[in-house]
Amino acid sequence: MKHTIRVEIVGSDAFWRNAVMVEWEYQFPERKLIAESTGSYMIEADWLDDLERIAGGLFSKVLMAPANPSRRQYFRLLFPHSERR
């Protein structure tokens, strides 16, 4: 089994985050990102450079997500923020 990591795709808005997903599926149809209910994705570690390159070209970035996603959800409930414009 390949080494997997949890990442988040952060874009200026939902349009650009979705654009990253569309471009990823176009360039790498055989590489499926596994969406989680927390909004993060499980990917093979070897794919990180390619995903960062695609995101960078679409006004987005890829961040390493926490090992415990429920902790981040808790903080988001305490400290809500609006999306960057």
Domains of the chain: 4-78 (3.30.70)
Query: Is residue 7 within 8 Å of residue 40, measured between CB atoms?
Result: yes
Local confidence band at 70 (pLDDT 50, 70, 90 cut-offs): low
Pairing of strands 41-44, 34-35: antiparallel
pTM greater than 0.85 (yes/no): no
Q: Note the pLDDT tens digit of each residue in 4-32.
A: 999 999 998 999 999 999 999 999 999 99
pLDDT at 84 over 50: no
Local confidence band at 71 (pLDDT 50, 70, 90 cut-offs): low
The rounded distance, in Å, linking the Cα atoms of 37 and 78 is: 19
Alpha carbon distances (Å) from 34 to 7, 75, 82: 10, 23, 25
Query: Is residue 60 within 8 Å of residue 24, measured between CB atoms?
Result: no
Q: Which one, of 51, 38, 48, lies nearest residue 3 by Cα?
A: 48
DSSP state of 84: P
Q: What are phi and psi of 7, to 5 degrees?
A: -130, 160
